[in-house]
A = this chain, B = another copy of it.
Amino acid sequence: MTPERLARINAMLDQRQPDLTVCMEGVHKNHNLAAVVRTADAIGISDVHAVWKNERMRVSGGSAAGSQNWVDVHNYSSTADAIGVLKSQGMQVLVTNLSDTAIDFREVDYTKPTAIILGQEKFGASEKALELADQDIVIPMVGMVQSLNVSVANAVVLYEAQRQRKAAGMYDRPSISEERRQRFLFEGGHP
């Protein structure tokens, strides 16, 4: 690895936010997951959780998702399993949902450890996700369309989280563990 590349990777790792994550439900193509991972990486997310629609796709998709070298993708076959893991990590679990009871996404404190659940493009968030999550959040819309595209909704919420975390100085102090840093550096040096 060149010294420039090493410095670039270390600077990226210094800004990683391991206590902010996204969990996508009903993933059936690696392609829609990739759009979410791309934005997640851009705001410093190190882990994305994917609940696959069916086991068979999960396997092929899961390995393809591994090509995203800089974000760890964790695969599940049920929403309950995924949310169980997120809660055991002490995350507040927010579900993006087009309902009247949801609060405006900007009212949430994203400086806390936070997981954001994204629903399926066709059917939205699952009953299970709504039942297990701590809070529903909605992105206000004033037009005629019924909803935003899921990767757009992901980006709008994540850039609000980025704004709050930047204001709180959370990008100025490294928070990734030394063990993960070494693993990313090793993998990044040996692609």
Q: How many copies does the complex hold?
A: 2
Q: Does A121 contact B (CB under 8 A)?
A: no
B106 and A145 contact, CB distance less than 8 A: no
Contact between B148 and A155, CB atoms less than 8 A apart: yes
Residue ID in chain B nearest A36 by CB atoms: B152
Complex interface: chain B residues within 8 A of A41 (CB):
143-145
Given contacts A156-B155, A156-B159, contact A42 B12 (CB under 8 A): no
Is A38 an interface position by the 8 A CB rule? yes
Contact B106 A143 (CB under 8 A): no
Q: Is residue A26 within 8 Å, beta carbon to beta carbon, of the partner chain? A: no
Q: Is the CB of B151 within 8 A of A42?
A: no
CB-nearest residue of chain B relative to A163?
B106
CB-CB contacts below 8 Å: A37-73 with B: 38-45, 69-71
Give the interface size class of chain A. Answer: 20 to 34
Given A152-B151, A152-B152: A12 in contact with B142 (beta carbons within 8 A): yes
A35 is contacted by which of B43, B142, B143, B152 (Cβ under 8 Å)?
B152
**If the complex has contacts A156-B156, A159-B139, A159-B159, are A144 and B35 also in contact, measured as CB distance less than 8 A?**
no
A44 touching B142 in the complex, CB below 8 Å, given contacts A38-B148, A149-B35, A151-B149: yes
**CB of A1 within 8 A of chain B?**
no
A29 to chain B, nearest CB (A): 15
- How far is the CB of A170 from the nearest CB of chain B, in Å? 11
Question: What 0/1 readout, one digit per residue, does chain A (1-44) give for beta carbons within 8 Å of chain B?
Answer: 00000000100100100000000000000000001001111111
Taking Cβ atoms with an 8 Å cutoff, the residues of A that contact B are 9, 12, 15, 35, 38-45, 69-71, 106, 139-145, 148-149, 151-152, 155-156, 159-160, 162-163, 171
